[in-house]
Amino acid sequence: MLRILFVVLYVIIAPLLGGLMAGIDRKITARLQGRVGPSIFQAFYDVLKLFEKETMVVRRSQNFYIVFSLILVIFTTGLFAWGANILLVIFALTLSSIFFVLGGFKASSPYSFIGSQRELIQIASYEPAVLLSAIGMYMVAHSFNIMTIFTCDKPLYIPLAGIVLAYLFILPIKLRKSPFDLSTSHHAHQELVKGITTEFSGKALAMIEITHWYETTIALGIVFLFFSSNILIGLLAAAAAYFLMIIIDNSFARVKWQKAFASSWLIALIFGVGNIILLSFLAN
Amino acid sequence: MSTPLFLIVFPLLISIILLFLKNNTARFGVVVTSFFVLSAASIFLAAEYFKSDMQFLTVPWEFTNHAILAAEILLSLYVLFTGIRNKQKLVTLFAVIQLLPLLWFEFKGPHIEIEHSFVVDRLSVVMALIIGIVGGIISIYSLGYMREFHEQHHKEYKDKRCFFFFVVFAFLGAMYGIVFSNNLRWLYFFWEITSVSSFLLIGYKGTTESIRNAFLALRLNLLGGIGFAAAIIFLQTRVGILELDKVMFSPKAIVLLPVALMCFAGLTKSAQLPFSKWLLGAMVAPSPVSALLHSSTMVKAGVYLILRFAGVLEGTLVGFMIALVGGVTFFICSCIAVSQSDAKKVLAYSTIANLGLIVLCAGLGTYEAVWAAILLIIFHAVAKCLLFLCVGVVEHKIHSRNIEDMAGLIITMPKLSIMMQIGMAGMFLAPFGMLISKWAVLQALVDYNPLLAIFVVFGSSVTLLYWVKWMGRLLTVVGKQDELEGTVHRTEWFSLSALALLTIGVCGFFPLVAHSLVEPYIEEIYHRTVDMGHGNITIMLIMLAMVALFPLSFFRYGKSVKVVDAYLAGANTPQGIDFYNSFNTSQQMHMTSYYMQEFFNEKKLLLTGIIVSTILILISVVSPVC
């Protein structure tokens, strides 16, 4: 019963946290660029205003995909909070992303089309590192269950240092940060207009934003899991990772998709797979 | 007559009737009736045997053995004759290599008492259900498809439909033969029939290309057949066992070499690297052939055989090498599929890749891996078959099987494109079938060898890429398009809907399927059960239910939204899909998918795969000798 209550609370708090982090991000970014920046609640104001706006579409069914993307990411967050099997969490999250991509395709505009293609390449780029993280956690905690991983008293980040590195490398993709903000960007200065979200407006765009808040908390939640033997260190690590992403976002120019794909796979292969090979040798 | 024997003999009899049946209506009647008989008998078989462990059947030994021997000689002579007539030196050579020693040992070699000729257990039941139901559905589809093929699209090819259906049904009989044979000599005979059926159907069109590809397939399958024959001779002379169940439960050291040789045969049949080329060539055959032989049934015979020996392979170097071959094949072929735009080639590469995944599990041979492998066989057979049949219809209607030309199929062929999406969802999306299996594969692999899991990790990431790309292409609509769906034949509709329902059905009822058929099999062989976890199954079913709710959103279709033209950098013409270019003339927008050729170059990847897998296979066959 308490567990269910926790899940419900988590699902309500997660987007608020995600939105707040987006606000903090904008504040820090502004300061880094010598601006004052908006209020840290700006992300909420934006989304609330989007809900008021008229919804314009190119194809009549394009927004359905966005709705399902949101529903699935909420479901994923619930699974995460429940402490379910981490592979299932990853698959559910992927399913949510795929609905988003299909929405971009359905919109049938050249910009959203290329955005969708690039989003797909991004998914394929980060998926290995994410799955390797799950496998690494299994090898140390002997379970795929998030609950068991969470309660594992061994600090996971020590034996999984390489995997943590590989995961941090792909984290900008999931958070839509430079240098990997290929499919759509927080900043309105890229050649793809708004990429995959070009044709979404009003409520649909607001939902995309909320989905992204959820995604941010899940992505950082995995960082937390690596350090969760001590809850405080875990929270600090997740916060530090987010801060690192903001710094990286502001210090790097966007790379081509080829480079994004090749480098994420290479890093996953060297540090992720390397780490797993090392672990399995040590286990024998 | 017992059900298994009926299932072998009945299609063979039907095939002979169909060979002489020129009348369309009569053929229709016979095929539809046989479909009902076959699927009913397969389901009856399942009901009859799913509760019991391995059961054996005996048949009048002397007579059957002589009949099969005679048929085998005739078949070999036919291959020999075809090889000589078409100046195919290798085919001739391979046929001779197989025929002569087998005959010699049949008459001069040590006599081996066969206790049980046929075997039925839950694995054979699973295979029989696939052959009967999926195979039957494809034969119905073929009625309409082949009619349109000859009467509208390809008047240049000779109408050999009688021959087509003759081969298809003979093939079905042979498939049943493979999954029920306990006598390895007989299994080998049925195995060769499927090789020859595949050869005949690939070459059906009679063009230079199709004949060339047919011989390629025959050559590689005969090469596998040599491995099989060698295994039989070894078993006969050195081990004194010729029965499947006895080999399965023999001490590993004694039977490892023949098992390695039979697995070699299995790898050729399942088109694993380095033998994958024949399956690509086989795509020249009409779509029902690709669906029946080259995705859902015949290629599964290869993995079936390897899976039978999973217990022997477990923990051996041979098994590890075979698992690696599967892993390499899965990864490399998934990558190549990203770079392909021909729908049938994408399906072919994805088939090879998924068979690789099954081989990976079978080679590993642990109880969890075998469990995952059987689930993969089931889900793949249904979903992939649906996709092949959809592409077949699309090809007839839009006269192209290029994925880029399928843009807007959701408007031009709405029902069909929805079925196609169900098939694709079944292939890769959570929580549908293949993903359940991939999840199981990952679970199974990390326990024993996390290194093997790496192939799955990277391979499944690209798998997503090519499927979603294709799905997206179907959804992207540019401008107004006419509907093309009206002329699809009713037999084709029947088959497509049945398979779509089946795809959803096996996903929805997969806990039941796993619980009643797959788990008892694992329990019987390994004396252990696989537990997916009650909670995990519930989560998957919830996800399935959520995805199933998606169509409901169409009740709000077009409500409270304002429809505008796509953004074309502010230079839209009044037509909406055109824009003003820099010469101020109107130009239509155009979108093309990414194929990532610079990363996934077909030639380079294949070459790497072939070299690596050849080395692995050599190790697997040589290591038991050392």
Write out pLDDT tens, residues B288-321: 999 998 888 999 999 999 999 999 999 899 999 9
The residue in chain A having the minimum alpha-carbon distance to the alpha carbon of residue B464 is: A124
Provide the token pair at B25.
């209506």
Chain A nearest-CA distance from B32, in A, is 38
How much of chain B is in helix, strand and coil states, percent to nearest 5? 75, 5, 20
Q: Which H or E element spans position B588?
A: strand B586-588
Query: In chain A, how many H helices and how many E strands?
Result: 11, 1
Q: Are B564 and A56 in contact (CB under 8 A)?
A: yes
Among A141-145, A184-188, B236-240, the range with the most confident prediction by mean pLDDT is: A141-145
Q: Does A199 touch chain B (CB under 8 A)?
A: yes
For A18-82, give the DSSP string: HHHHHHHHHHHHHHHTT-----TTHHHHHHHHHHHSPPEESSTTHHHHHHHHHHHHHHHHHHHHH
For B504-557, give the DSSP string: HHHHHTHHHHIIIIIHHHHHHHHS------HHHHHHHHHHHHHHHTGGGGGGGT
Residues of chain A contacting residue B472, judged by C-beta atoms under 8 Å apart: 101-102, 104-106, 113, 116-117, 120
Contact A102 B472 (CB under 8 A): yes
Q: Are B131 and B261 in contact (CB under 8 A)?
A: no
The residue in chain A having the minimum alpha-carbon distance to the alpha carbon of residue B589 is: A110
Residue B502: band (very low, low, confident or very high) from pLDDT cuts 50, 70, 90: very high
Chain B nearest-CA distance from A21, in A, is 29
- Could you read off the pLDDT of B421-439 as tens digits, one per residue? 999 998 888 667 677 777 8
**Per-residue pLDDT averaged across B47-59, rounded?**
84
Residue A168: band (very low, low, confident or very high) from pLDDT cuts 50, 70, 90: very high
Residues of chain B contacting residue A280, judged by C-beta atoms under 8 Å apart: 449-451
Contact B539 A79 (CB under 8 A): yes
The CA distance from B47 to B45, in Å, is: 5
**Which segments of B72-203 are extended strands (E)?**
118-120
Which residue has 């430079």 as its token pair?
A178
Residue B587: band (very low, low, confident or very high) from pLDDT cuts 50, 70, 90: confident
Q: Which of B472, B540, B565 sits opposite A105 (nearest CB)?
A: B472
The CA distance from B497 to B491, in Å, is: 10
Give me the pLDDT at residue A190, please: 66
- Intra-chain end-to-end CA distance of chain A, in Å: 41
Q: What is the mean pLDDT of chain A?
A: 92
- Residues in A 153-172 with any Cβ partner in B closer than 8 A: none
Give me the pLDDT at residue B139, please: 93
Number of domains in chain A: 1
How much of chain A exceeds pLDDT 70, in percent?
A: 99
Q: Are A262 and A125 in contact (CB under 8 A)?
A: no
For A156-168, give the DSSP string: TTTTTHHHHHHHH
Give me the pLDDT at residue B430, please: 66
In degrees, rounded to 5, the angle at the alpha carbon of residue B468 between the alpha carbons of residues B464 and B473 is 155
Give me the pLDDT at residue A147, please: 93
Strand bridging mode B562-563 / A56-57? parallel
How much of chain B exceeds pLDDT 90, in percent?
A: 54
> Cα A148 from chain centroid?
22
Strand partners, B119: B56
Q: Answer yes or no: is pLDDT of B91 > 90.
A: no
Contact A57 B564 (CB under 8 A): yes
Q: Which of A60, A138, A277 sits opposite B451 (nearest CB)?
A: A277
Give me the pLDDT at residue A257, please: 92
Strand partners, B587: B579
Q: Does A75 touch chain B (CB under 8 A)?
A: yes
Chain A nearest-CA distance from B623, in A, is 23
Burial B524-539 (b: 16+ CB within 10 A, else e): ebbeeebebeeebbeb
Q: Are B608 and B312 in contact (CB under 8 A)?
A: no
Chain A nearest-CA distance from B313, in A, is 21
Give me the pLDDT at residue A128, please: 95
Q: What domain range includes position A226?
A: 2-283
- Could you read off the pLDDT of A194-246 as tens digits, one per residue? 889 888 998 999 999 999 999 999 999 999 999 998 999 999 999 999 999 99
Q: Answer yes or no: is pLDDT of B204 > 70.
A: yes
In degrees, rounded to 5, the angle at the alpha carbon of residue B158 between the alpha carbons of residues B155 and B162 is 120
In degrees, rounded to 5, the angle at the alpha carbon of residue A160 between the alpha carbons of residues A154 and A162 is 160
- Could you read off the pLDDT of B542-582 as tens digits, one per residue? 888 888 888 888 887 877 788 888 888 778 888 777 888 88
The CA distance from A72 to B273, in Å, is: 38
Give me the pLDDT at residue A189, please: 62
Residues of chain A contacting residue B475, judged by C-beta atoms under 8 Å apart: 102, 105-106, 108
Rounded to the nearest 10 degrees, the angle between the axes of helix A202-226 and helix A161-174 is: 170
Residue B64: band (very low, low, confident or very high) from pLDDT cuts 50, 70, 90: confident
The CA distance from A8 to B603, in Å, is: 52
Widest Cα–Cα separation across chain B: 87
Chain A nearest-CA distance from B459, in A, is 9
B539, B544, B590, B598, best to mutate vs chain A, most A CBs in 10 Å: B539
B399 DSSP assignment: S
Q: Are A114 and A193 in contact (CB under 8 A)?
A: no
Give me the pLDDT at residue B106, please: 75
Q: Which of B461, B566, B594 sits opposite A108 (nearest CB)?
A: B566
Provide the token pair at B321.
């090498």
Chain B nearest-CA distance from A200, in A, is 10
The residue in chain A having the minimum alpha-carbon distance to the alpha carbon of residue B444 is: A135
Q: Does A200 touch chain B (CB under 8 A)?
A: no
Give me the pLDDT at residue A253, please: 87
Chain B nearest-CA distance from A8, in A, is 16
Residue B11's Cβ-side half-sphere holds a number of Cα atoms within 13 Å equal to 30
Which residue has 């050249």 as its token pair?
A110
Give me the pLDDT at residue B468, please: 93
Residues of chain A contacting residue B430, judged by C-beta atoms under 8 Å apart: 88, 91-92, 94-95
Q: Which of B430, B566, B569 sits opposite A91 (nearest CB)?
A: B430
Least confident range of A83-92, B178-187, B463-472, B587-596: B587-596
Least confident range of A258-262, B244-248, B427-431: B427-431
Q: What is the mean pLDDT of chain B?
A: 89
Q: Using CB atoms within 10 A of its CB, is residue B20 exposed (0-12), middle (13-18) or buried (19+)?
A: exposed
Q: Answer yes or no: is pLDDT of A20 > 90.
A: yes
Give me the pLDDT at residue B1, please: 67
**Per-residue pLDDT averaged across B330-349, rounded?**
95
**Per-residue pLDDT averaged across B378-398, rounded?**
93
Give me the pLDDT at residue A42, please: 94
Between B154 and B181, whose confidence is greater? B181
Give me the pLDDT at residue B146, please: 92
Give me the pLDDT at residue B540, please: 85
The CA distance from A284 to B450, in Å, is: 12
| Dihedral sign for Cα atoms in the order B8, B221, B459, B319 | positive
How much of chain B exceeds pLDDT 70, in percent?
A: 99
Residues of chain B contacting residue A144, judged by C-beta atoms under 8 Å apart: 443
Query: How many other CB atoms are there within 10 angstroms of residue B217's CB atom?
Result: 27
Q: How many CB pairs under 8 A join A and B?
A: 174
Total count of residues recorded for chain B? 626
Q: Answer yes or no: is pLDDT of B622 > 70.
A: yes
